[in-house]
Amino acid sequence: MMKLEGITAFVAVAESRSISEASRRLNLSKSVVSDRLSELERVLGTTLLHRTTRSLSLTEDGSAFLERAVRIVNEVRDATDDMAERRGDLKGALSLSAPVTFGRLHLGPALYPFLLQNPALEVSLDMDDRRVDVSSAGFDAVVRHGPIVDSRLMAWKLAPSRRLLVASTDYLEQHGTPHNAAELEGHRGIFYTNRGVADWRFVGPNGAVIVRAKVALRVNHGDMIRDAAVAGLGIALLPTFIAGPAIRDGSLTVIDVGLQAEDEFIYIAHSEGRRPSAKLRALADHLRKAFGSPPYWEP
């Protein structure tokens, strides 16, 4: 008889291409995951996965079975969520990914009371500034900061994210304050490497404006960009959820060059085609209220 736990193990391994990662995701030992896979293959009478010491891949039968297996796992999860929602209960696993700085500064403090209110929830939060693929990485949803561009995702806006050009008073006293895009290009910039290019993008009266300053530092961590700007290393384009406290206490000064940074948002996104669970909808509603409109971090 085919067991749901075996199908669940197969889907986790197929999506992560790793028994170790699947066992971490399922909170099981590798031996248990392997045993469940072997039992499923025995029941089906076929090999679903090619296993070697270095790699793991789907067989032809495994690829054919995966689509239905994913549908079965999702249907069972949705049915469980529906029953919990009918009882006014939120329970079960919820796997999320979020950027490091926003997660530490704002998502965590908003998430903790939600978990206290819903003790039957089991939330796994992966903090990583890399853009992850929701489905293949096994996440129910991702919290992101930026423009909403991935057409494969269904995104819900949680809060607007305003970005400002900032620098320390010492830097501006030494190098002068730019007043337009041309002057800004002559300055030293601190850039976020995960955006891929060392430039700043604005919206002006006549459309998009791209400014390329001299690179003082490229780094993949928002806290370090803020700290480098406070230290006087150069100018940074930072979201107010990072720069707000430093602007309020005078460590950073806002620079006005007559342009607005492109619109960005804090949003939560899940895979297109999947009905969002009750617990995910409840979390999104809670985060919107916790962040506020306008968000509380605005200086």
The C-alpha atoms of residue 254 and residue 216 are separated, in whole angstroms, by 19
Give the mean model confidence (pLDDT) for residues 125-130.
86
The C-alpha atoms of residue 154 and residue 141 are separated, in whole angstroms, by 10
Residue 253 has pLDDT above 90, yes or no: yes
Q: Are 81 and 117 in contact (CB under 8 A)?
A: no
Domains and CATH numbers, the chain: 4-85 (1.10.10.10), 88-161+264-291 (3.40.190.10), 163-261 (3.40.190.290)
Encoded amino acid at 16, one letter: S
Non-local (6+) Cβ contacts of 128 within 8 A are: 97, 98, 99, 100
pLDDT at 137: 63
Give the mean model confidence (pLDDT) for residues 36-52.
88
155 pLDDT tier (thresholds 50, 70, 90): confident
pTM: 0.71
Q: pLDDT tens digit string along 184-222?
A: 999 999 999 877 677 899 988 888 899 999 999 999 889
Mean pLDDT is lowest, of 52-66, 74-88, 107-121, for 74-88
pLDDT at 217: 95
pLDDT above 90 covers what percent of the chain?
Answer: 47
The C-alpha atoms of residue 114 and residue 90 are separated, in whole angstroms, by 11
pLDDT at 87: 66
Closest CA to 140 of 83, 98, 182: 98
Q: Tell me, what DSSP letter sits at residue 141?
A: E
The C-alpha atoms of residue 234 and residue 246 are separated, in whole angstroms, by 15
pLDDT at 174: 96
DSSP alpha helices (H): ranges in 231-277?
240-248
Q: Tell me, what DSSP letter sits at residue 107?
A: I
* Dihedral sign from CA coordinates of 135, 141, 146, 152: positive
pLDDT at 85: 63
pLDDT at 251: 97
pLDDT at 283: 95
Residue 133 has pLDDT above 80, yes or no: no
DSSP alpha helices (H): ranges in 103-239?
108-117, 169-175, 181-184, 222-230
Name the most confidently modeled range: 26-40, 47-61, 81-95, 237-251: 237-251
Q: Which helix (H) or strand (E) holds 99?
A: none
What does pLDDT average to over the chain?
Answer: 88
Note every long-range contact of 130-134, with CB atoms under 8 Å and residues 24 or more positions apart, other chains counting: 130/194, 131/194, 132/97, 134/97, 134/269, 134/270, 134/271
Helix axes 4-16, 30-44, angle to 10 degrees: 110
The C-alpha atoms of residue 216 and residue 213 are separated, in whole angstroms, by 9
pLDDT at 180: 94
Closest CA to 93 of 108, 75, 80: 80
272 pLDDT tier (thresholds 50, 70, 90): low
